[in-house]
Amino acid sequence: MSTELANKIDRNNVRHMMVLSCAPLLAGLKIASLFVTRAINYEEVLSVLKGTEVEILTLSSNNGMLTLLLYNREELSKYLSRNMNASFLRKLEYKSCDVDVVLNEFAYRYSLYLKDRMDFPHEMGIILGYPLEDVNGFMCNQGKNYLISGYWKVYNRPAIAKRIFKEYDEATERMIKELVE
């Protein structure tokens, strides 16, 4: 994104920040994104998403801030049901790959992680739509030794990841331009 365009982003504008954080999801290129915002902005977040296929799960509420998982239920359900991803979730002791079961359990585990009662829930990578081989690579390498880093740390097939990162960047830039120009 050009510096000129970046300078037009209003960091106090919820719509601007949602697009900056979640454009690939809002453009239908990604199945889920995290969005951190002030709790007082929650109604505006709902308003922005009204009429879209994007749903919200509150992962944490702390000191007036919310960590939200924004997701496309249908696409996330398909992704979680893929054999490799479902097997990964079973290894992590998820009882089902049903989207509601996974999200409820993940939210619980995330809350335990925030309270230092559990290690980081690496299934977050699958929920965010990252390739399983990269989630496994991250876990095995403890976040080190990656080939490239962008929207996630890449351990396999960097050429494919670079293409996806480029698509995400283009969607973000296009949506930011629509907001500020």
Mean pLDDT by 10 residues, the chain (181 residues): 77 92 96 97 96 96 96 98 97 96 97 94 97 97 97 98 97 92 79
Provide the pLDDT for residue 7. 78
- State residue 149's pLDDT score: 97
- The per-residue pLDDT for 80 is 97
Phi, psi of 111 (to 5 degrees): -65, -40
Tokens of 28: 């239908």
d(CA 157, CA 133): 9
The CA distance from 15 to 105, in Å, is 29
Give tens-digit pLDDT for 43-93. 999 999 999 999 999 999 999 999 999 999 999 999 999 999 999 999 999
Instruction: Report, in angstroms and rounded to the nearest whole number, the Rg of the chain calculated over CA atoms.
Output: 17
The whole-number pLDDT of residue 115 equals: 92
Give the pLDDT confidence score for residue 64 in this predicted structure.
95
Read off the amino acid at residue 66.
L
Q: Residue 164 belongs to what domain range?
A: 3-180
* Cα distance between the two ends of the chain: 14
| Domains of the chain: total | 1
